Amino acid sequence: MCEECGCGHTHQMGEITHFYAKPSVAVVRLDDEMRNGDKIQIKGNSTDFTMTVMGMRNEQEQEIDSANPGELVAFHTPEKIRPGDKLYLIMREISS
């Protein structure tokens, strides 16, 4: 959901740069902040599914809780994706 206006629209967060099939891991270059627990949609020509981000890793392969625009992050995906697929934020858990 759009945090700015609560309109329910998704916002592009980044683009898939690599996909490693055996561990089923995506690498994404971020256009916006991403956090563990974010519900995202990955969409491309033959890809369209939603998932919750967990277990993100940075370029040094360290587990991280969040990442900023311009960073590359990796995380497991339940389905095959392709370089060029887009990543959209659907919902972010609000910390209390």
Please write the tens of the pLDDT for every residue from 42-55.
999 999 999 999 99
Q: What is the pLDDT of residues 48-78, one digit of tens each?
A: 999 999 999 999 999 999 999 999 999 999 9
- For the chain, give the number of residues: 96
Q: Which CATH superfamily is domain 11-91 in?
A: Translation factors (2.40.30.10)
Closest CA to 89 of 43, 57, 55, 58: 43
What pLDDT, on the 0 to 100 scale, is given for residue 6?
Answer: 52
* Domain ranges for the chain: 11-91
